[in-house]
Amino acid sequence: IVAQAYSTLVVNRCIFLWSDSSLGTYSIGLYPLGTVFRTSISMYNSEFQASGNKAGGGLYIGGGAIGSVVDTRITRMKANGKSTSAPITIRSQARVYLSNINVRECLSAGNAASAIHVSQNSEVELHNSDISSNTGALAAIVVEGSKMNVIGTKMNFNAGQRNGSCVAAQKSVVQIYSSTLSGGSAAQGGCVWATGGLLYVWKSQVVNCTATRLGGGIMLDNLRDSARITMGALYQTDVSGCSAGIGGGGILAVDVLDISTPVSGVVVEQRVNLVMSSCRFINNTVGGFGGAVLATAASIFLDDSVFTDNYAGVAGDDVWLREASLIMSGVTSGDAMQAGSSSCELIAFDDSCDVFDEAIPESGELR
């Protein structure tokens, strides 16, 4: 179905089926001629199903279209690798509301998200949905140059080969509220990966996610881009049971990826900023540095938070810093907070922190 300029499309209680012999790219596509030609879609109680290796997407909303999709399922769909072939593609200044969406067991290759791909200055609200068991080169949800709010949603057992398994955001504003993200795996940012924008996680759970390299739970990555600022905020969020191979078992905030070698005498501009308040970091592990949190060339404010039973194979069971600053208030840490270079700064407000063991080695500064 293709709906173009000045069209209104309403879909209720429909099932769209694919087989190996099916042709075409999308089951439903919205292709307005431009943002002034408003096209809208309302979809309810419908389902997309694919059997075999269907190389196409399910729902495409673009060109400034306005959409509302409720109580809809997409299962076992395979994207063909183009960024416009995800099960749900939203782009080109589209404005879309998604509620009670179930995207499961979908597979993507190349540059397509395995569930929802949002790009080109679009805005999306995702409520009370289940985005689980999807696999691809990219994350289940990819947001590029756009805004997305995720509220009351489950994202479980997604797998990405590159950055992020549940969410990957680039130059975007992504806000995650009251959601559970668990069992994800990726090379970097085992659950969520973000660069050049704002990531806000509020009253959520990041559980048992794994990164083969960096950032088992959440990774803020500035990609060494001097023109880019990456900001993150976590509030009343638990990061537990996450692991990484090299650095940042739970959280990684990084602008310089060489985490093990200090840059002596070099002033590194901190273009990654992370605020964490009323959070808990429990049972996170890493083979290298920073069992719970690792920060390089980053500025971190940590308030009213607890670290419990985190482990690092090399150094910094709870926190590892390099060319970074950490300001703490009301923090309880049972293990080491360490700095790996002379340009680190750790500031703890008097009588408000309970930090045991070696707080910081001789190479850093403790105030």
Q: What is the DSSP string of 244-298?
A: ESSB-SSEEEES----SS--TT-PPP--EEEEEES-EEES-EESSB-SSEEEESE
pLDDT at 297: 81
pLDDT at 86: 86
Indicate the pLDDT class of residue 225, thresholds 50, 70 and 90: low
Indicate the pLDDT class of residue 80, thresholds 50, 70 and 90: low
The yes-or-no verdict on residue 256 having pLDDT over 70 is no
pLDDT digits (tens, 9 = 90+) for 23-59: 445 667 666 555 556 788 899 998 887 654 444 567 8
Indicate the pLDDT class of residue 322, thresholds 50, 70 and 90: confident
pLDDT at 85: 78
pLDDT at 149: 98
pLDDT digits (tens, 9 = 90+) for 87-134: 899 998 999 999 999 999 998 877 889 999 999 999 999 999 999 999
- The whole-chain average pLDDT of the chain stands at 83
pLDDT at 253: 87
| Separation CA 86–CA 57 (nearest Å) | 5
Indicate the pLDDT class of residue 343, thresholds 50, 70 and 90: low
pLDDT digits (tens, 9 = 90+) for 135-175: 999 999 999 999 999 999 999 999 999 999 999 999 999 99
pLDDT at 359: 44
Q: Which amino acid is at 347?
A: I
| Separation CA 124–CA 120 (nearest Å) | 12
339 closest CA partner among 307, 304, 295: 295
pLDDT at 360: 44
The three-class DSSP label of residue 178 is coil
Tell whether the torsion through CA atoms of 213, 215, 218 and 223 is positive or negative: negative
| Separation CA 15–CA 181 (nearest Å) | 29
The arithmetic mean of pLDDT across residues 4-14, rounded, is 86
pLDDT at 336: 64
The three-class DSSP label of residue 167 is strand
More confident: 44 or 16: 44
Indicate the pLDDT class of residue 298, thresholds 50, 70 and 90: confident
Query: Minimum mean pLDDT among 29-43, 242-256, 293-307: which range?
Result: 29-43
Q: Cα angle at 174 between 173 and 175, to 5 degrees? A: 125
The yes-or-no verdict on residue 79 having pLDDT over 60 is yes
